[in-house]
Structure 1
Amino acid sequence: MLRPFGKSVVYSNLTVRKIEPVNHKPLFIFFIFICWSFSAKSQNLKLIDSLKSQLKIAKGEKKFELLDDLAWEYRWAFPDSTIYYANEAYKLGNSLKLNKLAEPLNFIGVAYNYKGDNILSFENYQRALQTSLDQQDSLQIAYSNNNLGRLFFEQGLLSRAYEHFVKCLAIFDALGDSSGLAYTYQSLANLYKSQKDFTKAESNYLKAYTMRIGLGNTRDIMSALTQLGRLYQEIDQNDKAIKYFLLADSAGNAIRDHINLAEIKTFLAESYLNKGLLKQAEAMCAEGLDAITKTNNLKILPHAYVTMGQIKMESGDLGAAKRFLDLGIAVAAKTSDLTSKMEAHYWLWKIMIKQNNRSEGLKNHNEYLILKDSIKDLDLTRQVERLQFEIEIQRKEQENNLLKATESENTSTIKQQKLQNIILFVVIGFISILGYAQYRNSKKRRESNEKLAQQNQFIQNQRAEIVQQNEKLFRRNQELSDLNHEKDTLMSIVAHDLKSPLNRIKGIISIMEAEQGLTEDQTMYVKLMNDATQSGLDLIKDLLDVHMLEENVEPTHSKFDISQFLFEKVAAFKPAAEAKNIHLHITRVESEEITLDADYLNRILDNLLTNAIKFSPKDSVIDVSGGKKEGQLWISIKDQGPGFSDKDRQSLFQKFKKLSARPTAGETSNGLGLAIVKTLVDRLKGKIELITAQGKGSEFIIWFPIASR
């Protein structure tokens, strides 16, 4: 929140994070000292001591202002102190009947926001808004709307945030308050940026920057320049980002703000890295780390270490890169910075790949995926919390409306009671109209009972509305389930994008295998690389097939010769069969041109042949045959494997169901093959037939309706 009435404005990006416990006692004490030091730098301790000294002798309105000032100065490091002094200021101002009671209420809302209690923050902002409206305090009306807008923005209620920002913008403009306008433009820019509307975000950031230049507050100018730099960095306009970060760096040096300088230099190093200017990036990141060391700012230290690790990696110094990334992981673990920790493991995985350290690479890759899922889970949890906040706000607003209605009813009742007292007084003076007065009194009571009955009905209606809100929450939970489905779809897209580089790696391995003069160790490493690459391709293929199962894609038919198709398919699988000394051959096939989806048929035969080879013992035979019968194409694949039990038949074509049989040479099985086959056969309007007995092999026969030429 902006400090009203023209007082100094101080910005801070301090974020309170959960610190994981450390067993080493001296390290724990040192870390507590660092946190205390950083908190102390976020406020003006000399000013606080001065205000306390003046408070001892102050009285009346002067004491109110000092209490208010103390509440404002404590807001970052000690929000509980802000709540105490602001409450004292409000009580004193109320007793003095001052016309500026909204300001301490706004400060209480700010303090609860820093404490993470969004509901109490909302209630105090609402009280501040209502009080400022009652007292016709235009400036506090604007600040109350801005605070509510910021609160709704933080909770993801963007439409409500926008409404409050627009209201406070109009008031600040009417008052000619440039400081308030600048802050509101920055709030609007943050909102547009969150919606990826970068054009409007840029426009509002530039307006805020222009106004802050006019106001001449160097710290505010530095903040505006930093926001512009981060915007341009996000939209990959790194030349502009570097320009504004350099200006922000100059402003920070001018006022010796080492806390914010550390962050600015780290961002600037990232922009240089994005541009490929590695020397400038390394120099700037080193300056950032130096500034972080001076200020003991653990909050941004993991990010700086990861950035320096990236720079060293791009420069080819993999050893130094690994050291910085390991430091980043260590500090991120202490500060619970999951994002920096995830990024560090990702780049360590890349380094291990370059160093051919497969085990460490796999370890870091697994850590990266685990952290990535943890962050997604946290995002889902935050979404649930935001929904609960929205429902709670709606409930509070309904309660507020109910209280207003009750207050109006009570006021009416008091007026009626006064009227009854007047009537009673008149009755005492005029005995002659006693009977009439009693009749009037009885009538009034009946009316009051009717109104109470109406009020009870109103309360029942409110309860029904609360039940409806609970039903809405259930539907929102269902929406979260849908979001999880979208996550699975995104995983399929990522798998598809990984397929091309793995195919290129496999091609390079094939060239290496063709080279002469490789040593035994080199030949073994090439084989290991080939096996690992093939495993990755197989996994990606399964992921893509699963994604295809979820989409209702129409088959694309084309004409091709079935005999040529089967000969090519069998030839492609012969090396895999020969590796297990399995005789794979075609026993019968007719040369016939058919019209069918060749890609679907290819996937079907791939899965059936893969399963036949995978589950057949060594020195066995796999027969492949095909032909045309009564206007239908049939293809048979018969093996001498373990066959299927009656229990296996019940879940034969279900996804991720592993049956009783196991691969005979240690191959992997994910339980997707037959489910994919069944789905594709159904889409081709065909059918699948299984002839099997446990221990006596299996024969799959697939039938398709075809149109011959």
Structure 2
Amino acid sequence: MTKINHLFTLVALTTWISGFAQETTVDSLRAAIETAESDTAKISLYIDLAYESTDSAQLAAAQMAYELGKNVYDPNYIGRSKAVLGLLYSNIDLDSGMALMNDGINVYINNGLTEKASNGRWIQGLVYESYNAFDSAVAMHSRALEIAKTNEHFEEIANASSSLSGISNIRGENVDALQYALEALNAYKQAGMQKEMGQTHNLIGIIYDQKGLYSKALDHYLQARDIAIQTKDIDGEILINNNMGVIYDNMGDAEKSMQYYSDALEKARINNMPDNEATLLNNLSYIHLKSGDTTKAIEFLRRSLDIDLSEIYPCFESYPLEGMGSAYIGLGKLDSAEYFLNRALKTAKACEDVVVQAAVYRNLGVLYSRKKKMKEGIDALKQSLIISEKSNLKTDTKETLQEIYKHYKRQADNEKAMMYLEKYQQLTDSIYEAKNIEKATQLAAEYEFRKQVAEMDQERLEAEKKYTEELEAKSRENRLILLALVLFFLLAVTLGRSYFFIQKQNKKLKWLNDEKNKLMGIVAHDLRNPLNMIIGLMPLFEDAIKTNKDKNLKKYVELLGASSERMRTMIDRVLDISAIENMKVNLKLEKTDLSKLTFESIHNFDTIASQKEIKILDNIDKSIERFSNVDPNYLIQVIDNLLSNAIKFSDRGKQIEVALITNETYHKITVKDEGPGISEEEQKSLFQAYTTLSSKPTAQERSTGLGLSIAYKFIDAMGGKIECNSKPGEGTTFDIIFEKA
């Protein structure tokens, strides 16, 4: 399924038609035409009337301006009347409309009105884009760019370069897209167009994201967001938050991704922006599909399709259509999936959107393979690979390589399966290379730090201004003395606060880096990578053992061992990294039935306990509801942790007792094991991070020393208490206590 992070630039062609902004009604314009004394004045009024009118009245007004233009000698009005009529007529007959626009633009060129000529060519390019005639659009934008560069019209240079970048990006020509985008950024800067600079930073971020260069992409997104906030560009801010969601999803942080998508969706609905709402619904469906909630994904996709964007972005439909196809494959409804995928492919080809084409062909490959059409399946997958590799779409390439590997594995073609598995692993390692992710994470942290310092500087400036205004009201003879004293005091306090804050933040950042180094080493990428390698190698390894003929048997064994060790190390080091980075727990307290919650946690550990012949005694009366105000997600993590520890430190055949005790003021959850117990000395540091006990897990299970420190942090944040009662040789009891709701 394809995530959307395109910058939807909805160009207001009518602004160009109107020329000079006039907040007037149709009636007042008609009255003004009746009293106008010159043909040039009437031409301007008729063009404004065309802007205010709709349908046939719009075209009729433009025709009147055109007829009057025949009788004047001012090339500005002659060219404008022809170009505007041509633009409107292109809705009826593209070729005739473009021919008339050419006549108007040639008038501009012949009379040295180069800026208008460049703008006219750019508008022609946009019209061709609306008809999906991209080659003609590129030709017009290129001619606009040539005229603008020759005459140093920076705004027109930027507009044409930005449009060329957008088309190149959709076509998968990332090098050209980046070059044009950087040129547009520089030109917008020269023209002093800050809002457009932010939009271009966003486009550059999209290009870098597609290339897997997350730190560079994030840098441009953050710059774009700052500009959007400064210029109060709500539409731009929503799009940037969407793209931030895409990049965090690509980096494997689904929680942050969901947060950005949800915030942007709420703002899009509040501000009645259906195009942005459709985009965000599509991307949220992707998150739900990955989590296995296909029903929710289809619901979001249908809502996205229900939003009609045909007028403003006719190519958008391919994204939710492709998503529907992917979702129905997951449900096993292959005929429905094929219907949606073919519709998506038709639209994507017409719009020359290589991102959607790569995704559709990949899904068709999966679909045909499930229908036992193996040749059609591998042909579609290889077509997806060709498109994604040619366009440098690394994420799509990775996903397609994985599907090709699965295809050959089902065909028992071990040699080809191994070849594509290795390609998949190499590309995955390059995309999720530790330094790339770490740099992006550090960049975000530094950005927040700089933002806080800037806010402090702003507070200081506002305070200085306030004091200055107060001092100006005082008498002249006391002004200098009071001003010096107050400013000296204010400066000292401000510098002291700033110094303290900066030192505190520096220590915090250094601590975070040290902790990341301890936990992560030089890896920070997706834990699924080594697991995928193991899963992929196991069928090949089993076949090799059965036949005893596979020359790669030794290689399989080495790869399995390396991947297992790699996964074990990463799991040890990245456990609950979010709690360390955030330095806080974001709670959502709600009235929760502790009986139901505790029973759910016990049920989760039945299988694990049975593997060690350990029996979990459930002494909870589930018919009695016991309510406390807690965050259920965090509390179940704590109970899970206590049960996991009890199993780890218990010998085979032992028992674990879980009880829920209630009195007049509180509820108490108790987890009691028959393990080796904990000494009084060790209990003093039990809830500190990285605490290592003298007792060891009974089946060589791994323990990081983080679990109980995180549990203590969660319970404390929810206003509860966690206690330990234990003696060596007599087992251990943990109590979690919350007040009644």
TM bracket, shorter-chain basis: 0.3 to 0.5
Computing the radius of gyration over CA atoms, which structure comes out larger, 1 or 2?
1
Q: 1 or 2 for the larger relative contact order (CA 8 Å, sep ≥6)?
A: 2
Q: Report the TM-score, using the length of structure 1 for normalisation.
A: 0.43
